[in-house]
Structure formats: C-alpha cells, structure tokens
C-alpha cells in the first residue's frame, strides 16, 4: 500500500458517531445559546452513555459563540487535548465531525464532541451589520445592494436556470420534499404547516428569482454529537454509525458566497469535496440510500446533486422531477425537513438526521437505510460525511 492508502485505511470506518442530542427548534427559545449548547451536548453524551468527564475533544464553527472553555467548564469535561473551529458558516458543519474523526483516529482525543448552538431566530440577521463586513464583499459587491446571502446565491441561481433550463418548479420540488418530511417530524418547526405549489408560486420575492420558500428558516436551537473510536462505539448504548469517509473542499480560485470570478462559478465546492469523499470510499453515489443535503437555499440542492455525482452537470434540476427527492424516490433527501423546514442551525440537524436514518429511527425512515451522505453548505468552502451502519 502507498502511504496515502495506509492513511485512508486508518480513517475509514475507524470512528463512529455514538451519540446525538438536540434542543427544541423554534423561532424563539428563552434560554441562552450557552445553555442550549450545554443541553444539546449533555443529551448527546447521555444518548451515547458516556460521562462528560471523559470528553477530551471539541469541534465547532468559527461562528459559534459558545467557546470550548465555557462549554467544557459547564458540562464538567476532563482534560481536553484537541479543539478546533471551522470557518465559512454552514460550510463547516460536517468538518467539525471530520476533524474529530481524524483526531480520534490518530489518538489526539478519545471522546470528541461537535456542536452548534444558535439563536438565529431571535437574534439579528448577520447581513444587517455594516460595521463588520467581509473585505471582498465590502469592496466589490455589497455597495451595489447585493446585501444578503439570498442575493448572492440568487445570482448563481439565475445563471444556473439560464444555462440549463431549470425552472421555479424545480426549486419548488426541493422546497416541497423538505416540507413533506417536516410534516412527518413533530420536532420540526414546520410540522403542522403543509406547503402547496400555489403557496410557493404566489409567495413574496426575497431576491428574484428566489421567493420566500426558497429560503431556509430562521431558528433558535442547538445540536451536538459524540465521536469515538469504532471499537468503543460498539460498546455504547446506541447502534454505531460509522464515519466511512470525510472531506473538506475549497476549489481553486473559489470565493465563498460571491463566487463570480473563477472560470466556472457553477462548479462549486461540492465538486472538490466530492472527489475527496469518493476517493476514500468503498462505494459510490449509486449506493447512497438517503442524503442530507445542505439547504440554506433551494438551488443548492441541484448544484449539490451534480457536485456529489448523483447526476451529470446541468442535470440537477431535472433530477428533482417525478418525486425523486421524496420518500420512496430515487434519492430521499433531508428526511427531518432540513434547514428549509425542520430548523436552520447551520446544517447540524442534517448530521443528526443522518445518524437517525442509520439507526432506523427517523420520522421519515428510509427502509433498511445503510448509507447516508451528509453535506455542508454549498457555495462556500464546504465539507461532507459519508455515514454507514
């Protein structure tokens, strides 16, 4: 074996998610982000049957405002030997788990906790801040009124629709699949709120071509999961969900959100993460039973379907036709409702939902699901996980 093959073998299926935890999801929750973070983490450790004093690794997002010092103190963690933060908003979701997998597989930690706690529902909208702006948008895009993520992604969405004949009905297919799954999930913000094509087509614009239902929710909530070695996971309370392959992706000449300047802006970070993900895996896209695809905006789904190899370039919109994304379809997605309809917690609920599927306990269970792709934000430096049971 080459050194690379040895290294990949060392990571493949070497670690597992042994516990998951979450708080309620709502437009507004009364407790602080720190309290919510602690509740989700304590719940995840309890789910795994591991005492908090054994936690020696932490990973979260750079946008996370509860730091590992505060969290470790509050939950009573032991001596911590690995901690890491990943940038680029929702692009970092799966990378938090990936970093802990690498840390556990190489002996830097033995019990890792990844978490995200966010009061995006009751807090302010980040784009309203004009005092702290990212330098490239502040100089080259925001002055022209490209203010919000919906404007930035809407620009790519219109180009995609123009190049490949994608329509609003394709974007509706995405919104509907997520909403239908949320309607089966009592924990979802949109549990009792069905969506119809008429509601979608007559809703207000946010940034044309994107309407209200093309945008994710604004949610308060927190989630966490526990990563341990595969060997240890087999002794834990729950059925292990193995981390088969993990990857991050920052393509050459990419610029997060405002990716207008490379040769091919519609080939986003998903493509880079996917190449790395599949290169390390024993199976391919055709073998994926269920997928949790980052859905801050509906057009991210067709772009991701192409990037992760479920269809060819330009075929992502057509892929959504005929109920392909629904239960029983070719590729059921976002089976808890996703960011569009369960709750938007920077994609961490997609990770936990992937675990639920492979445990067989999802509220929209795919029969005998044995493999699940989870992706982080597309359109920003991203990350992805291949889970297997």
Q: Whose Cβ is closer to other proteins: residue 142's or residue 181's?
A: 142
How do beta strands 290-292 and 371-375 pair? parallel
Q: Tell me the C-alpha distance between 26 and 47, whole Å.
A: 22
Q: What angle do CA 310, 335, 249 make, to 5 degrees?
A: 45
Q: What is the DSSP letter of 36?
A: H
Nearest alpha carbon to residue 236 among 46, 14, 39: 46
The token pair that represents 203 in the structure block = 């809703």
Place of tokens 């939902």: 353
Q: Whose Cβ is closer to other proteins: residue 2's or residue 144's?
A: 144
* Dihedral angle sign, alpha carbons of residues 182, 184, 187, 189: positive
Q: Whose Cβ is closer to other proteins: residue 4's or residue 205's?
A: 205
Minimum distance from residue 387 beta carbon to other proteins (Å): 35
The token pair that represents 316 in the structure block = 């992502």
Minimum distance from residue 370 beta carbon to other proteins (Å): 40
Q: Whose Cβ is closer to other proteins: residue 140's or residue 191's?
A: 140
Backbone angles phi, psi at 322, to 5 degrees: 70, 25
Report the interface residues with other proteins, using CB under 8 A: 125, 128, 130, 133, 135-136, 138-148, 150-151, 154-156, 158-159, 162, 204-210, 253, 258, 260-261, 263
Minimum distance from residue 276 beta carbon to other proteins (Å): 21
- Residues assigned a catalytic role: 294, 344
Minimum distance from residue 264 beta carbon to other proteins (Å): 10
Peptide bond connecting 77 to the previous residue in cis, omega within 30 degrees of 0: no
Minimum distance from residue 156 beta carbon to other proteins (Å): 7
Other beta carbons within 10 Å of 279: 11
Q: Whose Cβ is closer to other proteins: residue 185's or residue 259's?
A: 259
Beta carbons within 8 Å of 51's beta carbon, 6+ residues apart? 45
Strand partners, 246: 385
Q: In what order do the strands lie in the sheet with 382-388?
A: 82-86, 57-61, 112-119, 220-229, 15-22, 241-249, 382-388, 371-375, 290-292
Minimum distance from residue 380 beta carbon to other proteins (Å): 17
The token pair that represents 2 in the structure block = 């080459």
The token pair that represents 239 in the structure block = 């059925």
Q: Whose Cβ is closer to other proteins: residue 123's or residue 143's?
A: 143
Minimum distance from residue 125 beta carbon to other proteins (Å): 8
Place of tokens 């772009």: 303
Q: Whose Cβ is closer to other proteins: residue 4's or residue 261's?
A: 261
């Amino acid at each position: 074996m080459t050194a690379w093959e040895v290294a990949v073998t060392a990571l493949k299926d070497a670690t597992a998610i042994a516990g998951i935890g979450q708080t309620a999801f709502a437009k507004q929750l009364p407790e602080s982000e720190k309290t919510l973070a602690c509740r989700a983490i304590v719940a995840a450790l309890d789910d795994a049957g591991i005492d908090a004093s054994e936690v020696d690794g932490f990973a979260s997002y750079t946008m996370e405002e509860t730091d590992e010092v505060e969290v470790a103190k509050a939950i009573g963690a032991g001596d911590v030997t690995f901690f890491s933060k990943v940038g680029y908003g929702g692009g970092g979701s799966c990378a938090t788990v990936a970093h802990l997998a690498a840390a556990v597989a190489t002996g830097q930690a033995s019990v890792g906790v990844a978490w995200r706690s966010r009061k995006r529902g009751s807090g302010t909208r980040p784009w309203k801040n004009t005092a702290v702006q990212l330098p490239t948008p502040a100089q080259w895009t925001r002055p022209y009124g490209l203010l919000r993520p919906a404007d930035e992604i809407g620009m790519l969405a219109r180009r995609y629709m123009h190049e490949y004949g994608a329509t609003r009905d394709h974007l509706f297919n995405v919104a509907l699949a997520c909403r239908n799954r949320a309607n089966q999930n009592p924990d979802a913000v949109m549990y009792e709120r069905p969506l119809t094509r008429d509601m979608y087509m007559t809703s207000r614009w946010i940034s044309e071509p994107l309407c209200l239902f093309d945008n994710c929710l604004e949610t308060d909530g927190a989630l966490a999961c526990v990563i341990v070695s595969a060997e240890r996971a087999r002794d834990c309370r729950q059925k292990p969900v193995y981390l088969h392959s993990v990857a991050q992706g920052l393509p050459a000449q990419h610029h997060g959100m405002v990716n207008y300047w490379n040769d091919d802006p519609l080939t986003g970070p998903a493509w880079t993460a996917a190449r790395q993900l599949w290169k390390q895996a024993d199976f391919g896209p055709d073998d994926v039973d269920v997928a949790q695809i980052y859905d801050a905006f509906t057009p991210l789904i067709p772009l991701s379907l192409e990037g992760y190899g479920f269809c060819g370039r330009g075929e992502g919109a057509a892929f959504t036709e005929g109920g392909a994304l629904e239960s029983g379809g070719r590729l059921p997605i976002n089976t808890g409702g996703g960011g569009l309809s369960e709750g938007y917690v920077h994609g961490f609920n997609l990770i936990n939902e992937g675990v639920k599927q492979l445990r067989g306990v999802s509220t929209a269970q795919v029969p005998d699901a044995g493999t699940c792709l989870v992706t982080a934000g597309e359109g920003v430096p991203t990350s992805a996980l291949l889970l297997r049971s």
